[in-house]
Amino acid sequence: MIFTAVVLACMVSTSSHAGIGIAGRAGTLGIGIEATQSLIPMVNVRGGINWFNYSFDGTESDVRYNIDLKLKSFSALVDFHPFPLVGFRLTGGIVFNSNGLDMVSESVSATIEIGGQTYT
Q: How many CA within 13 A on the CB side of residue 56?
A: 11
* pLDDT mean over 110-117: 83
Sign of CA dihedral 36, 40, 43, 45: negative
Q: What is the pLDDT of residue 91?
A: 95
Q: Using an 8 Å Cβ cutoff, are 80 and 43 in contact?
A: yes
Encode pLDDT of 69-83 as tens digits.
Answer: 999 999 999 999 998
Say whether 10 sits in a helix, a strand or coil. Answer: helix
DSSP state of 18: G
Question: Quick check: 57 pLDDT over 60?
Answer: yes
Q: What is the pLDDT of residue 7?
A: 52
Question: Quick check: 68 pLDDT over 90?
Answer: yes
Q: Has this prediction a pTM greater than 0.75?
A: no
Question: Quick check: 10 pLDDT over 70?
Answer: no
CA nearest to 101, candidates 66, 61, 62: 66
Q: How many domains does the chain have?
A: 1
